[in-house]
Chains A and B, each alone.
Chain A
Amino acid sequence: MTAAPPASPVLAIENYSLDYTLRHGTARVLDGVNLAIGKGEVVGLVGESGSGKSSLAWAIMRHLPRNAVEASGRLSLGGLDLRGLDAKGLQAVRGKRIGMVFQDPSTALNPTLRLGEQVIEVLMRHRGLGRAEARDAAEAALAEVELRNPTALMRRYPHEASGGEKQRVVIATAFATAPELILFDEPTTALDVITGARILELFARLRERTGVAALYISHDLGLVSRVADRVSVLRQGRIVEEGAPEAVFLDPRHDYTRRLVAAVPRPHRRLVDDAAGGDTVLAANGLSVRYGRRRLFRPPPPPATKAVSLEVRAGEILGVVGESGSGKSSLARGLTGLAEFDGGIHATGRRLDHARQMDKAYRRAVQIVFQHPDSSLNPRMRIGDILARPLKLYGGALSDIPALLEQVRLPADYARKYPHQLSGGEKQRVAIARAFAARPSLVICDEITAALDVSVQAQVVELLLALRRQHGTAYLFITHDLNLIRQIAHRIAVMQQGELVDLRDAAAIDAPDAHPYTRALIAASPAPVG
C-alpha cells in the first residue's frame, strides 16, 4: 500500500470542474479535482453532504442532472475518454466496465421485478448470454457474494429479502460483469451495524479475489480509513487532503480534515465524566409494546418489545442500542404513549398502566426527539410557531423563543423561517429546542443523529451534553452507533428482537461477561484507526 498515485490508472480524473446552473447564477460543485485509481486499488472519497462527492460519482457514470455544466477536465477509464462517449458507447461502459453499488438497496432494486431477473438482465446485456446461461451465471454470482440458497432468492421479490440480502444482490450485479472499476456510494449507511460489517468483510474478500479497483464514497472518515488504500478528502468541491488512510487519520494536515477526524466517535474517548446518581426519573416495569388492535378471529401480533424493565435516573444518559427491528424505537413509542403498552411505567411519583393515563405533567416531564426532523417538524409552520406550541401548553411565554433558539445555538431570527429553509442539522436543533421548551426531566432521543453527517452529529451531541450540564436533563439515547454511545452514556441497554438482553455500565460494556450479542455488536463496530 503506497500513498503515491498509480502510473497507469484504471480511472484518471484530471482537473475536473463541474457547475450547476441555478436560478441565480451558477454554483461550482467540483473544482479542479484530480484523482487516480490504479489497478486493484481502493480509493476512499470522504466529505460531508454537499461536498460534491456524489456529483463526482454521477460525473464518472455520466449521469449528471440537466443543469450540470462541465467546466473543465478529463475523465478517462483506462485511456477511454468518458466525456466523449455517445449514448451507445456509454451503455457499453455502464454496468460492464464500471459497476455501481448504491446507498440504499431497498430503493435501488425494482420492487415489481424478481431479484434474479435484475441480475439476469445485466448478464444477458453485457456478457451476451442466452436466458438459460444467464440464469446459471446469475446463480453463481449470487453464490459468490455468499448468499445462502441463491436458487430460492432468485425467485423472490425485493420486499421478500432482508436489507443485507438485497445489498448483496446489488453487489453481485456489480461484480457479475467483471468490471474494471466499481463505485461504492455509502453502501453500508442504510444497513444495520452487524449487516454493514458483514458487507464490508464481503467487500474485502471480493476485492482480493477479483482485484477490482474501487472508489469508495462515504461521509464517515473512520469507516473509509478501514477499507481504502488511499483517502481523498473533499470539501466544497475541492480535494483538500489526500494520502494513506493512517496518515490522513493520525496526522491530518488540513483544518477541515482535523475537524472530520475529531468528529469520528471513538469509544474510549469519554465526553461525559460525571457519574449519574440520584432519584429515578422514570422506570419501566415489564413494558411490552404491541402494535395493531387485537382482532376477533386472529392471534394478536407479537409484541415489539417483550417485558422490558429499566430505569433512568436524574441527569443520567442511558444508551439503548440494537439493530433495526430490535424494539428500540418501540420502547420510545411506549414510553411516550405513542403506542399502547402492557406493564407499568413509574414516573412523576405514580404508576401508569395505560397510555391514556399520561397527563400533562407526564408529557411535560418526558419529551421526545425523532430521527427525521423533516417529518417531525410541520413544513407549513414557522420555527417560531413550532416552538410556541409547547411553550403555550406547558406554561412558557412567547418571549422565551429567542432564548430557546440561542440555547440550541441558532440565531433568533430563525423564528421567522420555515423548516425547509434550514439544513438537516439545524432542523434537528429546532426539534431539540421544542423538546426543551417543556423543561423536561427526561428527553428520549430516537436515533436523532442517524440521518446526519458525522461532523454534524458531533455538534448535535455536544449540544445535548451542554444542555444537560445546564438543566440536569436525563437522556434515553437510542442509537445503532455503539462507538458514539460508549462516549456519552453512563449505562448501556442492549436490545435484540424485542428483548433487553444486556444492561450494564458503559465502562463494562466490553467486559467478558457481556451478552454474546453485545460482543457481536462491539466486534461489528471497530474503533477507527488510531
Chain B
Amino acid sequence: MSTGWLLRRLFLVAYTVLVVSVLVFAITQVLPADAAVTLLGENATPEALAAVRDRLGLNDPIWLQYWHWLTAALTGDFGHSMRTGQPVAPMMLTALSRSLLLALLSILLMLAVAVPLGLWAALRQGKAADLVTGFISYIGVSLPEFVTATLLLIVLADWLQWLPATGYVPPGEDFWDSMAHLVLPVLTVSVIMVAHVSRMVRSETIDVLHSDYIRAARLKGLAPRSVLLRHVLRNALLPVITIVALDVGYLLGGIIVVEEIFALPGIGRQLIVAITARDLPAIQAGALVMAVTYAVASTLADIAYALLDRRIRYD
C-alpha cells in the first residue's frame, strides 16, 4: 500500500462525497416543497413569502444556490432546521453518534457470535450441528427486522421485564441505564447480521479447509489447533471484512425501522422526521453525513484488507 494509493483513495472519497452532494442538492430542489411556505405556513401573504425567498437566496440561479450551500457545508454549516430553527449540523451529528454507537456494539456482538458459529458449522460440515445452525440462520436472515424486534420486545421487555422496552439514555448520563436501553436494538440488528455473516464465515472456512496449503499444514504434523488458528482463520476471515464494511452502510440507512420501534433518535429516525416535515437543510445534511460515513468505512475496510493480505498491493 503506497502513500500514492492512499492519497488517490482519499481523493476518491472526496469525489464521491462531491457527487453525492450534487445529487442530494438536486433532489431536494425537485421535491415539491417550497421552503418559504414550509417556514411561514400555508396562510402567509405573498409579500412575506417573497421577502423570505429573497433572504434565503431562493431567487438566485440554482448553481449559485448550490455553491453557497456547498461552501457553507464545508465549514460545517448546513443551515438551520426549518422545523426547529436550530442549526442542522450538530443535530445530525448527535443523531449519527447514537447510530454509530448502535452500529459498533452490534458489529462487535455479531463478530463475537458469527465467527465462532461459522467456524463451528464449517468444521462439522454436513452434520446435524451444521444443518441446525444453517436452518436457524436462514430464519434469522428471512425475518424482517420488525418481527425480530417485536419478538424480542415481547419476551425480554414484556414477559420477563428484564429490559426497558424503548427510549434512549446518553451513555454520559447513566452508563448502565444507557446500555440497558441499547440491548434490545443491538440484539435485533445483530440477529440479522449474525445470520448472514456466519454463513459467509462458514463457506469461506470450508473453501480454505479444502485448499492445498491446509492439507500441507496438516501433513506437516501441526496440531489441529494451530492449523485452525494460524492457517485457516486468517484466510477465512479476510472476505468477511468486506461484508462488515457493507454492513456499516446497512446499519446507517437500513435500521430506520429498528430505531423507530425502540424510539432511538438515531440518524435514520432524524431523516424520517426531516423528510415528513420537508425540512430541506436537515435532509441534505443527513444524506451527506451518511454518504461520508459509508465512503470512509469502505476505505478503512480496503486498508485493513491490504494490511492483512500482503498479496493485495495497491499502487
Chain A positions near chain B (C-beta within 8 angstroms): 61, 63, 87, 90-96, 100, 102, 104, 107-113, 121-122, 125-126, 157, 159-160, 170, 173
Contacts and interface: CB of A to CB of B under 8 A. Distances in A.
A124 B215 CA distance: 19
Contacts of A157: 310-311
Contacts of A113: 230-231, 234
A95 B215 CA distance: 12
Interface of B: 211-224, 226, 230-231, 234-235, 238, 308-311
Contacts of B224: 87
A93 B222 CA distance: 10
Contacts, number: 72
A93 B220 CA distance: 9
A122 B221 CA distance: 8
A108 B212 contact: yes
A63 B226 contact: no
A231 B238 CA distance: 45
A87 B221 CA distance: 10
Contact of B221 (A92, A110, A159, A160): A92
A63 B231 contact: no
Contact of A94 (B220, B226, B310): B220
Contact of A95 (B219, B226, B311): B219
Given A63-B215, A110-B213, A113-B230, A93 B309 contact: no
Nearest to A157: B310
A125 B234 contact: no
A35 B219 CA distance: 21
Contacts of B308: 112
Contacts of A100: 216, 219
Contacts of B212: 102, 104, 107-108
A63 B213 CA distance: 14
Contact of B223 (A91, A96, A170): A91
A159 B226 CA distance: 22
A121 B310 contact: no
Contacts of A61: 219
Given A110-B231, A157-B310, A173 B220 contact: yes
A87 B216 CA distance: 16
A100 B219 CA distance: 7
Contacts of B226: 121, 125
A126 B221 contact: yes
A90 B219 CA distance: 9
Contacts of B234: 112-113
B222 A121 contact: yes
Nearest to A88: B223
Given A91-B222, A111-B213, 12 more contacts: A63-B215, A90-B221, A93-B221, A94-B219, A95-B221, A102-B212, A104-B212, A110-B231, A112-B235, A121-B220, A159-B310, A159-B311
A95 B219 CA distance: 6
A104 B211 CA distance: 12
B221 A121 contact: no
A122 B231 CA distance: 13
A100 B221 CA distance: 11
